[in-house]
Amino acid sequence: MTSGAAGFHQGSGWDTRYHSPALATEVVALLGGSALVLDGTLGGGGHTAALLDHGVGRVIGVDRDPDALAAASERLAEAMANGRFSPYRGNYAAIDTIPALAGLRFNGILLDLGISSHQIDDAARGFSFREGAPLDMRMGSDAMQSAAELLDDASEDELTRIFREYGDEPRAARLAREIVRRRQSRPFESSDDLVGAIRGAFGPRTGPPEFARLFQAVRIAVNDELTGLARALPMLRDRLAPGGTFAVIAYHSGEDRMVKHAFREWSTDCICPPRHPMCTCGGNHATGELLTRRATVASADEIARNPRARSAKLRAWRAK
Ligand SMILES: C[S@@+](CC[C@H](N)C(=O)[O-])C[C@H]1O[C@@H](n2cnc3c(N)ncnc32)[C@H](O)[C@@H]1O
């Protein structure tokens, strides 16, 4: 196995304490055997290790987070030494700015969106609603502001939009108003301040499921995740070699919707509005083929082993 000794625990062969890759077997079925794969969300290198173990010639790994690059580089040191793995720090939504990747075309591209278990577990990173954690949430130094700065500076309208669009929160305006009211007397600094505002807006019985959803909304805003994904999808599609496969695992409904619509649109010849009586677009617009009519989800066994896989949705598309 490529995956070295970086602390395996029971589970799929590619789990480490850093992170357990979701749907690894399904990702291998889609991308295994490819000559060159871009893993745009390298994390602890679990998916990359699985791909290198299944006939992928070379993997280029990209992550915004230096911790992820360090963990994956240690784990995949042997593959790195023999030229089968090359890590780069960067944003998958801006791979054109990584000079070493200029002009490369990939036979497979993987995005496993969101954050890793390591990022959640490291209290100093401020991704969790655990008591007393700093409100940071930046995945890398390319994120413009911390969660605390965002909560202290964003307008009430912007906060409402963030909680409504990224957190599916129907009472978003009430929470935004509560945040603006509280920050007038004291700036937001720790997880307790945001938990306090959520409880202040929605009542003392509000608990972990709401905190998780609303903290995630702030994280998505801090890291520009949805707009980054929207920018990245067509750009990465254009970096696929003919016949190359694009696979995306999403954990958030907004991200999954975006991927679903993009893959469908790229697989459709006629792009006229749905109830248009006849085709006026000229047809023949499909640039590839949808490989997953419905999203692939984790089995009950995988969810029992890795609860984070519960919300994972994998979709794939193949270029012509
Ligand atoms: C779910 S984890 C990936 C785990 C990985 N597949 C594995 O098996 O270990 C997501 C990773 O993507 C990174 N990430 C998220 N958004 C990114 C972006 N726009 N560009 C580069 N990396 C990103 C995060 O820092 C995190 O390490």
At residue 124, does pLDDT exceed 90?
A: no
φ and ψ at 221, to 5 degrees? Answer: -70, -45
Rounded Cα–Cα distance for residues 109 and 37 (Å): 6
pLDDT digits (tens, 9 = 90+) for 151-175: 999 999 999 999 999 999 999 999 9
Q: Distance from the CA of 125 to the center of ligand 1, in angstroms? A: 15
Q: Distance from the CA of 30 to the center of ligand 1, in angstroms? A: 19
Q: Could you tell me if the CB of 63 is within 6 A of ligand 1? A: yes
Give yes or no for a contact between 61 and 48, defined as CB atoms under 8 angstroms apart. Answer: yes
Give yes or no for a contact between 233 and 257, defined as CB atoms under 8 angstroms apart. Answer: no
C-alpha pair distances (Å), 10 with each of 14, 50, 71, 161: 10, 16, 19, 41
Task: Report the nearest atom of ligand 1 relative to the CA of 14.
Answer: 8
Give the Cβ contact number of residue 320 at 10 Å.
Answer: 12
Give yes or no for a contact between 207 and 230, defined as CB atoms under 8 angstroms apart. Answer: no
Q: Distance from the CA of 69 to the center of ligand 1, in angstroms? A: 10
Q: Could you tell me if the CB of 112 is within 6 A of ligand 1? A: yes
Q: Distance from the CA of 134 to the center of ligand 1, in angstroms? A: 21
Q: Distance from the CA of 118 to the center of ligand 1, in angstroms? A: 11
Give yes or no for a contact between 195 and 211, defined as CB atoms under 8 angstroms apart. Answer: yes
Give yes or no for a contact between 309 and 23, defined as CB atoms under 8 angstroms apart. Answer: yes
Rounded Cα–Cα distance for residues 168 and 124 (Å): 27
Give yes or no for a contact between 84 and 75, defined as CB atoms under 8 angstroms apart. Answer: no
Q: What is the pLDDT of residue 7?
A: 40
Give the Cβ contact number of residue 28 at 10 Å.
Answer: 18
Percent of the chain with pLDDT over 70: 97
Rounded Cα–Cα distance for residues 272 and 234 (Å): 20
At residue 250, does pLDDT exceed 90?
A: yes
Task: Report the nearest atom of ligand 1 relative to the CA of 19.
Answer: 9
Query: pTM for the full model?
Result: 0.93
- Helix 172-183 to helix 191-202 angle (10° resolution) is 130
Q: Could you tell me if the CB of 250 is within 6 A of ligand 1? A: no
pLDDT digits (tens, 9 = 90+) for 274-288: 888 888 888 888 999
Q: Which two tokens stand for residue 154?
A: 């964003």
Q: Distance from the CA of 203 to the center of ligand 1, in angstroms? A: 34
Q: What is the pLDDT of residue 142?
A: 87
C-alpha pair distances (Å), 285 with each of 82, 144, 230: 41, 37, 20
Q: What is the pLDDT of residue 273?
A: 85
Mutate to test the pocket of ligand 1, among 2, 23, 41 (most ligand atoms within 8 A of CB): 41
Q: What is the pLDDT of residue 4?
A: 42
Q: What is the pLDDT of residue 235?
A: 97
* DSSP 8-state symbol, 100: G
Rounded Cα–Cα distance for residues 299 and 24 (Å): 12
At residue 211, does pLDDT exceed 60?
A: yes
Q: Which two tokens stand for residue 3?
A: 């995956």
95 or 2, which is more confident: 95
Q: Which of 113, 91, 106, 93 is nearest to 21 (CA)?
A: 113
Rounded Cα–Cα distance for residues 70 and 122 (Å): 15
Q: Could you tell me if the CB of 288 is within 6 A of ligand 1? A: no
At residue 131, does pLDDT exceed 50?
A: yes
